[in-house]
Amino acid sequence: MQRNKTLDCNNRLKALAVRTVRDCTFRKQVQYFGTMHQTEVLLPSGDEKYPSFWVRDAAMMAESGLIADADLKRYIEIIATHGQNGAEALTLQNGLCVPPYTIADHINYDAKPVFFPGTYQSGSDQGSGRYGYFPPFCDNYYFITMVGYYIEQSADRAILNTQYNGLTLWQRMCLAFEGYNIDPHSQLCVSDAQKYTVDWGFTDTIKKSGKLLMASLLRYNAALTMHRLQQDQRYAEIARTIKKNVVETFYDKASGWFYSATEIGHQFDVWATAYAVYLGIATEQNTLQALYRAYVDGTAVVDGYVRQILTDHDHAADSAWESAVSAYNRYQNGGYWSTPTGWYAYALYRYNGKIDILEDFLRHTEQYDEVGSPFEWINAACDAYDGAHYGTSGVLPYIALQRILQEQQALFQ
């Protein structure tokens, strides 16, 4: 019975994921690769809320295997050609800095990279520091994993030796991985309290400082990808170092949760805890129990959508996070998202073999289909929602269920 329920859920999630990729793909007039032409571009949502090519969202959806080889290769080549800074740091207005070989947050249709969230300006004015003084950590690492997904599904290893603006793709990946604001001892990503760095795009309106959990998890995953692609033991060692220090630095043994940061934003991070389980870093039973309790008690999940901060652990009466731009219980400051639903489902599956959270998500998606579900985010009462036919919302739950099914199949072999 449970097996049939899982297979039915898989069919529905696959149909949703296929539709979502289709809905997020638009034919645009672009200037990529030096010529004005029309081509398909994968956007973050089906309502074109974010009219630009976002590195992070495309890379996250790439894991699904639902993006055609030719399209995925083109997205990688757009980034390698137009979306990576050169060998010199860029000093922008208002104290903003783009370190060498940083990957852009998004790339406009005119092929100009934008390194900071909250703007489409590609020149020297890319913000006031409200969204960080350095670009988000995540895009460097998502670029690397995107290449990994492409090679796994296409077997096109030759792309690693293809040159883009004088550097091979592999060289560009290595330089992106080296990154910036890395603690050399722990290999964890760090942020200064004044000139802070956004850890990743789904908290780009949140200020954090000290060592950062989610960015470090993405760096860990990128290191594993680099090792798989070239069997370079240096990256395997970096991955081991990150894994060890993530647990030692962020794990709260008493509760089972992982802290989001060591200074500003020192709060239990629901998404990152679930993602740490998904990556195999969080293995303790009390972490699985904590996620299960938060699901059952409703302190983290509503209708299959997941809050970043537990409802009973808000920083203040008017803010979930210690430092946030968004209004309370809106967007990243207390809104509920389905981008992490698959990670959470995997953790619950590891706990008790059930995937009820995915059924919750599907029921909600089907209920609100006519108004654009799955959404980017909702509030608890679902009288506020935004971002129609949102890419990672519709695709990542399917990706996680594929992993669950693979693990189930392995048990029967």
Choose among 390, 375, 407: nearest CA to 44.
Answer: 390
Q: Return the H-helix or E-strand segment holding 230.
A: helix 213-230
Q: Which two tokens stand for residue 131?
A: 């969204």
Residue 139: both structure tokens together: 């895009």
From residue 175, alpha-carbon distances to 9, 20, 315 in Å are 41, 32, 37
At 353, is the secondary structure helix, strand, or coil?
Answer: coil
Class of domain 2-412: mainly alpha
The domain spans of the chain are 2-412
> 119-126 contacts: CB < 8 A, separation 24 or more?
120/51, 120/52, 124/92, 124/93, 125/92, 125/93, 125/94, 126/92, 126/93, 126/96
**Which string of b and e fits 194-207 if b means at least 16 CB within 10 Å?**
eebbbbbbbbbbbb
pLDDT tens by residue, 136-164: 999 999 999 999 999 999 999 999 999 99
Residue pLDDT tens, the chain, 413 long: 466 788 899 999 999 999 999 999 999 999 999 999 999 999 999 999 999 999 999 999 999 999 999 999 999 999 999 999 999 999 999 999 999 999 999 999 999 999 999 999 999 999 999 999 999 999 999 999 999 999 999 999 999 999 999 999 999 999 999 999 999 999 999 999 999 999 999 999 999 999 999 999 999 999 999 999 999 999 999 999 999 999 999 999 999 999 999 999 999 999 999 999 999 999 999 999 999 999 999 999 999 999 999 999 999 999 999 999 999 999 999 999 999 999 999 999 999 999 999 999 999 999 999 999 999 999 999 999 999 999 999 999 999 999 999 998 887 76
Cα gap 104→82, rounded to integer Å:
9
For 77, the 3-state DSSP assignment is helix
Do residues 88 and 101 make contact, with C-beta atoms less than 8 angstroms apart? Answer: no
238: three-class secondary structure by DSSP: helix
Instruction: Quote the Cα angle for 184-186-188, to 5°.
Output: 90
Nearest to residue 113, comparing CAs of 135, 137, 146? Answer: 135
